[in-house]
Structure 1
Amino acid sequence: MKNHIETSKIQKMFRILLAIFMLYAGFSHLTFNRIEFQSQVPDWMPFSKDLVVILSGIVEMIIGLALLFWKRQRVNTGWLLALFFVIVFPGNVAQYVEGRDAFSVLDSDRARLIRLFFQPVLIAWAVWSTGAWKAWRISKETENA
């Protein structure tokens, strides 16, 4: 599979937006929302909640920077980000199941449930805006030709 696929201007714009979102989220993990993010770490995690929040914040910032600057690995970065969103999803589910409030907007079961439906949107956003989905489709077409 190719690591670089040309993307449209709209994809580029959405990729940059996603990168900024990831950088902001990562920075907030390490600073002003650190305690809030700890509420999303399930109790069954074998590490301290603070360590999980710090490490996930660092990963978010690295991926955000890669989305902005590592053009040659954009497709792989898109898949990596999609995988990251899958990996953190159990934390969102745990927050819903355990009824943990966070960020003053996730303060009801309804709000926490609605949030769960945004994870597939984030996954799709990552693979579409980076050209990862297109690269995968092209590789399948080439494989079948």
Structure 2
Amino acid sequence: MRSFVRVLLGLALVFAGTSHLTFARQEFRAQVPELVPIDEDTTVLASGVAEIGLGSALVLASRRRRLVGTVVALFFVAVFPGNIAQWLNRRDGFGLDSDEKRIARLFGQPLLVAAALWSTRGGSRQRS
């Protein structure tokens, strides 16, 4: 089950990263907090590249799964301010067109952190 969740999460990250670079680029700009010191489009592109790399690492990692899971979890924590900014600034994107929907999304981020950590732990033969 852990491997299934790890691969699913990895594939979701690759898809999300690809969408940052292509069809959902404008939608992701709604999530960039004003405090980010570089322009929105550059931030979206950079985070997309990071998601593709992290997702690929989750899918392909065999010897360093714990490390990859930790880095992915930290990435999810790092992008959380974007979700908060989207809620606070009432920016629509990805069907999040109400405060209720944007708040509900905030509760999903800790689940992603937990999934990244849980899916890359376990098994007595696994090394860091």
* TM-score higher than 0.5: yes
Matched letter for residue 130 of structure 1: T
Structure 1: how far apart are the matches of 2:58 and 2:31?
25
Matched letter for residue 106 of structure 2: L
What percent of counterpart residues are identical?
Answer: 48
Structure 2: how far apart are the matches of 1:44 and 1:68?
32
Q: Paired residue for 2:100?
A: 110
Aligned ranges for residues 1-145 of structure 1 at < 5 Å?
Answer: 10-103=1-94, 105-131=95-121, 134=122
Rg (Cα) greater in structure? 1
TM-score normalised by the chain length of structure 2 = 0.93
| CA displacement at 1:70 relative to structure 2 | 2.2
Structure 2: how far apart are the matches of 1:21 and 1:97?
26
- Count of residue pairs the alignment pairs up: 123
User: Runs of 4+ in structure 1 displaced over 6 angstroms?
Assistant: none
Give the gaps of 5 or more residues in structure 2.
124-128
Structure 1: how far apart are the matches of 2:61 and 2:103?
34
From the two aligned structures, give the one with the greater helix fraction. Answer: 1
TM-score normalised by the chain length of structure 1 = 0.83
Matched letter for residue 119 of structure 2: S
What root-mean-square deviation, in Å, do the aligned CA atoms of Structure 1 and Structure 2 show? 1.0
